[in-house]
Amino acid sequence: MGHTALLRLWQGRRTTLLALIAIGVAIAASWLAQALLTSQIFARVLTGGGWSRDSLVPITVALALVLIARPILVLLRQLIAQAVMGRIKADIRSRALRSFVRRSAGDPGAGRSGRDHAVVVDGVENLDAYLSGYVPQIGVTVTVVLAAGITMIVIDPMTGVIAMCATITLPFLPRLWDRALAARGSDHWDAYQELHAEFVESMHGMTTLVTFGADERREQQLAEASKSLLHRTLRQLRISLIESGLSGFSLAAIPAVVLVTVALGRDHLSAFDVFALVLLSIELVRPFRDLASQWHAGYLGTFSGPGILDLLDEESAHATAASTSRAESFTDAAGPSADEPPLRLVSVTARHPRASAPTLIDVSLTAHPGMTAIVGATGSGKSTLAAVACGLLAPDSGTVLLDGRALTEDERLRHVALVAQDCVLFTGTVADNIALGLPAGADNDVIVRAAETVGIGCDNDAFTLDTPVGENGSLVSGGQRQRVAIARALVQDRDLLILDEATSALDPESERSVLAALRSNHPNLPIIAITHRSAVADAADRVVTVDRGRIIADSQVVVAGRQEAHD
């Protein structure tokens, strides 16, 4: 039940963890105080000695204060736990999503959307009970068991020692089932992720499944995956119930052992001692009951947690490498000058994860205001160049400079706008999707101007800012999706715009119109257009040809006279 690696998720918030432990100890102390106060009342009632109104009032008031304080402490602990876990989960999801973004850019074939969704949503949620309940309860259990045990030893050394020995021994017998429970839990989480992945892919590809008559077969596959998950869940529950039964029996045995010991030695014990020892033995095992309850509530987090830690490690390694790369770039690269190009790649070599060879090899490139077209055969490295330039892929070597500054990948993402061929739209209107990423209350005129630049609401009155796009843009055409994506990039007002086949779904006339509007309305914006189409290359100021990861031609086009200078 250790899973100490997950304690790393508390890093930077150890004070809050200690506060939760302290409050938990205070709640347990209220139970101990209640046991002692109740023992006094029972002893006085049983013996009839020393009982008076004056002696009743202080004990009753003290007991009332304990009973009032406990729910307040429980509420306070819950509020603190919810607040800190909200921040922890938000931070984990943010870092995990950044890791997924980089992985999908650098290695598009890795992972499955459904499994990733399960990790970010349910996997992170599973950590809540484990981190905010089980982990603090470990500290509470150790503290309270020592306090209760020492109190019992003070009252009666023999009974206290026997109770402590039983407490140390008996609750650990059910741990023999932990390995079996862990195996079943891991199996259950894998089955859940697999079903999630199959379902998400089926929903995304439903049209294709129906078109090819494969919907019934996929339905059967999902049914089998559901049965597999149910079977594994029931197996896991059987093991869990056995473990719970063993834990309950072992914990119930401790007060029974104390009761027998007290009965055998009652001749030398006072009435208060008898009641106190018996009631304290119950409080001795209460933390273990709470610990077991928190464990069963949060143990799923121990199976999703390792995968989340791997994602966070990838994100941390990327951030460290980017920071090192940035420091080296500042050391090696020349400082910015007045004529420094907005983008400069210097001897960049990059490869995708699991690739046997680099996709880009010693590439040097500059981009000035205007349009630079990157052309080349499929697989030549054009999209990889775009991923490196915008910060989605870290180069193995070389330097990437924006306005003469070497920035980390995360910083480049904030300065470069990338529009991919397969653009993503979210449920809502065209305006909602263009405004994605803008602060609340942003100037609507900015959205209108960007929409007009790409022809939204101009050529076709039926396609306006108020047009609903549907889930994943299902209500609009491919060309309309690309128009929205380009407008969304323009409103970000980034230092560089990269169009990766971003006009491929437009007809030639619309494509020329959009490109002309981009150049006319944003003459100082550096635009890199990755394309297979001659219309884009004809509209560019410069054409760069890439082949097998290397730049083999760089042609500067001068419109007046159509003069070309070749490197």
Bridge partners of residue 239, in order along the sequence:
none
**23 or 314: which leads in pLDDT:** 23
Report domain extents, the chain.
10-311, 336-566
Tell me the range of 151-165, 172-186, 551-565 where mean pLDDT is highest.
Answer: 151-165
Question: Given pLDDT bands bounded at 50, 70 and 90, which one contains residue 272?
Answer: confident
For the cut 90, the answer to whether the pLDDT of residue 81 exceeds it is yes
Lowest mean pLDDT among 235-239, 257-261, 387-391, 561-565: 561-565
Distance from C-alpha of 125 to C-alpha of 117, rounded to nearest angstrom: 12
The CATH number of the structural domain formed by 336-566 is 3.40.50.300
SS3 per-residue string spanning 189-242 = HHHHHHHHHHHHHHHHCHHHHHHCCCHHHHHHHHHHHHHHHHHHHHHHHHHHHH
Q: Tell me: the pLDDT tens digits for 84-118?
A: 999 998 888 888 887 777 777 666 666 677 777 78
What is the DSSP track for 384-425? HHHHHHHTSS--SEEEEEETTEE--HHHHHHHEEEE-SS---
Q: 275: part of which helix (H) or strand (E)?
A: helix 271-298
Q: In this predicted structure, what is the pLDDT of residue 261?
A: 85
Q: What is the pTM of this model?
A: 0.66
Pair 388, 364: CB distance under 8 Å: no
Tell me the residue type at 529.
A
Question: Given pLDDT bands bounded at 50, 70 and 90, which one contains residue 322?
Answer: low
Q: Tell me: the pLDDT tens digits for 28-64?
A: 999 999 999 998 888 877 776 555 555 677 888 899 9
pLDDT average, residue stretch 252-260: 85
pLDDT average, residue stretch 499-505: 90
**244 or 462: which leads in pLDDT:** 462
Q: In this predicted structure, what is the pLDDT of residue 109?
A: 64
Lowest mean pLDDT among 15-19, 50-54, 165-169, 537-541: 50-54
Bridge partners of residue 565, in order along the sequence:
556
For the cut 80, the answer to whether the pLDDT of residue 537 exceeds it is no
Q: What token pair was written down for 420?
A: 């991919």
For the cut 90, the answer to whether the pLDDT of residue 484 exceeds it is yes
User: Which class is 10-311 in CATH?
Assistant: mainly alpha
Distance from C-alpha of 504 to C-alpha of 510, rounded to nearest angstrom: 11
pLDDT average, residue stretch 299-309: 79
Query: Going by DSSP bridges, is the β-strand pair 397-402/405-406 parallel, antiparallel, or unpaired?
Result: antiparallel
For the cut 80, the answer to whether the pLDDT of residue 13 exceeds it is yes
Pair 550, 363: CB distance under 8 Å: yes
Under the phi-then-psi rule, with left for phi > 0, alpha for psi from -120 to 50, and beta for the rest, what region is 131? alpha
Q: Please give the share of the chain, as a percent, with pLDDT higher than 70.
A: 86
- Phi, psi dihedral angles at 171 (to 5 degrees): -65, -15
Nearest to 131 by CA among 315, 307, 317, 304: 304
